[in-house]
Amino acid sequence: MHAVLNVALPVFAIMLAGYLAGRFGVLGPQASEVLNRFVYYAALPALFVVSMARVPAGEVFNLNFIGVFFGAQVLTWAVAMAAAQIAFRGGAAEVGLHGLSAIFSNTGYMGIPLLILAFGDDGTLPAIIATVINGALNMAIGIAIIEMDLSTRTGAAGVLRDVVVGVVRSPLVLSAVGGLAWSATGWPLPTPVENFCSTIGAAASPAALFAMGLFLVGRKVTAGLGEVSWLVLLKLVVNPLIAFWLAATLFPLQPVWIASAVILSALPTGALVFVLAQKYDVYLQRSTSVILISTLLSVLTVSAAMVYYVPG
């Protein structure tokens, strides 16, 4: 419990600081949007480059771990999107972000420190692979769905072109692919490049959380509580249970990797969902509420998972 609190409380503190700054008008009315652009176009791409370039390419492709972690995300996302089309009406962009809110774990800001606390150095690689999956796959899928919905072209070829261009031009996708490509060369990043990316990339998570706090000023977190509660249930309970089932039945793994996959799946929704929602001005209120409430309740669910896998 203490380990989870030590990681979760700073998340709330940063969001609270952003809220107070917005409440008292310290940064002006456009602060949330401007800060979010900094995260989307500068801090996150730098973080993706340095994080993915550091991971040996061969170690990223632990297929059984990917099968458990990403497989659980895909299945949960499918359930979320199916439910959204039936019960929570919206366009493809809203439905896509509805699904992304249900599966996008906060692997970078919470997952890495938690697994290091639980398993030492053995916990670092699973958390990094999960972060790569979020950055390189889930972001690309989410952007593709949004671009498909927002495309103004007619005909399948025109829509497909807009989708491809939108994904290829995304700084998040470009930086993730670039980092992985550099990793494949086996060369270390030049020291000035690594220092630049590490320094500016370190601002990504706190800046995104601060921007969320700014966005919350004057808005009700309880709006759409039924939909938000459903997404929190999927994120904190259904997603890790599916990961547990996949590890037990289809994708055998070493105990530390199983524990890591389940704990990472049980993490709350990451702030990057808000970054994407604000970038496209879609699903902002709901995604913010899911991030906030899932982070609060994850103190219980992640603690339970850690007690199960890390007794004593």
pLDDT tens column, 134-158: 877 888 888 888 888 876 655 556 6
Cα three-residue angle 170-44-256, rounded to 5 degrees = 110
Most confidently modeled of 99-103, 126-130, 275-279? 99-103
Calpha distance 197→71 (Å, rounded): 30
Domain span at 129: 2-309
CB atoms within 10 A of CB 79: 18
Asked if the model's pLDDT at residue 50 lies above 70, the reply is yes
The span from the CA of 7 to the CA of 50, in Å, is 22
pLDDT beyond 60 at 312: no
> Across residues 252-275, what is the average pLDDT?
91
Residue-wise over 126-143: b if at least 16 C-beta within 10 A, else e?
A: bbbbbbbbbbbbbbbbbb
Say whether 273 sits in a helix, a strand or coil. helix
Residue labelled with tokens 């952003």: 18
Euclidean distance between CA atoms 66 and 68, whole angstroms: 5
The structure's pTM equals 0.82
Q: Given this model, what pLDDT does residue 231 score?
A: 96
Section 20-25 average pLDDT: 90
CA distances from 57 to 51, 103, 136 (A): 12, 24, 13
Q: Give the pLDDT band (50/70/90) at residue 113.
A: confident
Q: Which CATH number characterizes residue 53's domain?
A: 1.20.1530.20
Here the tokens at position 223 are 């709006």
pLDDT value of position 158: 64
Handedness of CA 278, 283, 289, 293 (dihedral sign): negative
**Amino acid code (one letter) for 1:** M
Dihedral sign of CA atoms 69, 72, 74, 76 in order? negative
Question: What is the model's pLDDT at position 251?
Answer: 95
Would you give the distance in Å from CA 8 to the centre of its chain?
15
Q: What's the pLDDT band for 159 if we cut at 50, 70, 90?
A: low
User: Crossing angle for the helix pair 204-216 and 44-54, nearest 10 degrees?
Assistant: 150
Question: Are residues 52 and 179 in contact, defined by beta-carbon separation less than 8 angstroms?
Answer: yes
Q: Which residues pair with 269 in a beta bridge?
A: 105
Task: Tell me the C-alpha to C-alpha distance, in Å, between residue 77 and each of 96, 100, 104, 252, 279.
Answer: 9, 7, 9, 23, 21
What pLDDT is stored for residue 311 in this prediction? 59
Residue 72 burial (CB count, 10 A): 26
Please tell me the distance from the alpha carbon of residue 266 to that of residue 88, in angstroms, as a whole number.
Answer: 24
Q: What does the DSSP 8-state code read for residue 157?
A: H
DSSP lists the bridge partners of residue 105 as: 269
How far apart CA 130 and CA 127 sit, in angstroms, is: 5
Which one is predicted more confidently, 124 or 276? Answer: 276
Q: Work out how many domains the chain is built from and give that number.
A: 1
pLDDT of residue 230: 95
Q: What is the DSSP string of 172-241?
A: HHHHHHHHHHHHHHTPPPPHHHHHHHHHHHTTHHHHHHHHHHHHHTT--TTTTHHHHHHHHHIIIIIHHH
**Predicted local confidence at residue 25, as pLDDT:** 87
| Cα angle, residue 233 at apex, residues 13 and 144 outer, rounded to 5° | 85
Q: Say yes or no to pLDDT of 69 above 80.
A: yes
